[in-house]
Structure 1
């Protein structure tokens, strides 16, 4: 295990923070990094062209049968199972590339491809050749010089790829959450939770920051996700606890302190309440799978 979950930064030295690489080449060159759980600071669009790919994304096994696209948001902990025989291409890009305007940043922040509250998007492209055409057009443009048109063309092509993928996702059984105040409050709560879950664990604290009542927040998350705010808070804390227990060799005390528990016994009680195992028992079970 590592002392911390590996943080992967975008490749330095490129004229723009977007690139397309071969999945097979990436596995061959970076096997030591991508086969262990890591957290990337950029967005992934996997185009699995043949075979069946197996990925682990935040403890959720995801199987992708080619030809399909898989969309993975930045900062999720992921790993590739190299035993799965597959190949294809991988498009990587950053907020800095796509989100130069407030409108573009908001789009990335809300698109169902990277912000699905209920699932990890996998889209079959066998019946959608236009997605493949645009992906290939991005790859072709990346081979050209960085002239005055280069950025805008790449940006527009990527935006069109995402929009077409959203359309296709909705055709393939996406469970739409009705737009409105409930969804808006849920997204705002999710964003606050991502930033403060280590230090703020009370529903009242989040409701106060959102200037709404606890009851209103509970109604919002119950309608959109079928869960109470307290359940969502606990799930986020437990996800990070499991990440650190499984993928680092930090001590139980260090992990508890990192997650905002001043006393190790409080963290142990909290963890056991939600898993029926102590942190040590959970870590041991993971190591002996």
Structure 2
């Protein structure tokens, strides 16, 4: 019988190499996901049998498996496959979280599992194998928060690979898709473009529609999200770089230091020197 880890019982979340799970279960390679959601980071080729559906998965992919699935692994050692498991109560903190858990990623009507390319492989190794372990040993609350954020990143990466046809079958998923695309575009363009209209044009929707979507999914207007992004980047540069305030204002796309200072005062109540 497959035995879940004590950590999964206690925290509602666990991450382990697959070979450790095999060893813990006396060499048994069959797993039932029970009420848990699972993500497998595949860094070696593996054959997976899920509810009778057999698939060969190549290294460099992620596999998403919903609750109550029987899954068996073969043709692998398991030492280069990371198994992440978590409960709905661990992950669901907002409407967006609930939509993600109930999307085609974990409840795929075309297949027993959802497969997505693994982006930023080296970075994911650091997050799940090194950083998570440090957080676990340092602070439980920080560890749980870091785990949630790391899982969300993997799910959002996978969500971008759901076909447009599938997304548009449900208006809520449609909103989630556009809200996620907006966040990706913002990361790329926030230094140069600070108006909602730019991102709406990039997404081929109206500014009003984009704001409606972000308010529904993220609980904030598109303008608020843009402002928060610039403020967060400002704090990061002011507190963790040797740049002058003038250099930071230029780095963040402001025409001059005065405009940048006025922006921060308006949205934080503090001048750049006070934040630094």
TM-score by length of 2: 0.50
| Equivalent-residue separation in structure 2 for 1:106 and 1:144 (angstroms) | 31
| Equivalent-residue separation in structure 1 for 2:146 and 2:164 (angstroms) | 31
Q: What is aligned with 2:224?
A: none
The structure whose RCO (Cα within 8 Å, separation 6+) is larger is 1
Flag the 1:58–1:33 CA change in 2: closer, same or farther, 3 A: same
Larger radius of gyration: 2
Q: What is aligned with 1:166?
A: 159
Flag the 1:177–1:28 CA change in 2: closer, same or farther, 3 A: same
**Alignment counterpart, residue 25 of structure 1, candidates 20, 23, 29:** 20
Q: What is aligned with 1:189?
A: none
| Equivalent-residue separation in structure 2 for 1:70 and 1:162 (angstroms) | 10
The alignment yields a C-alpha RMSD, in angstroms, of 3.2
Aligned length: 169
| Equivalent-residue separation in structure 1 for 2:78 and 2:117 (angstroms) | 15
| Equivalent-residue separation in structure 1 for 2:128 and 2:146 (angstroms) | 13
Unaligned runs of 5+ in 2: 173-276
Q: What is aligned with 2:105?
A: 113
Unaligned runs of 5+ in 1: 1-5, 186-289
Flag the 1:159–1:179 CA change in 2: closer, same or farther, 3 A: closer
| Equivalent-residue separation in structure 1 for 2:23 and 2:134 (angstroms) | 23
Contact preservation (8 Å) 1:18, 1:91: yes
Flag the 1:55–1:99 CA change in 2: closer, same or farther, 3 A: same
Give how far 1:139 is off: 4.6
**Would you identify which runs of 4 or more consecutive aligned residues in structure 1 move more than 3 Å?**
6-15, 31-34, 83-86, 100-103, 126-140, 182-185
Q: What is aligned with 1:201?
A: none
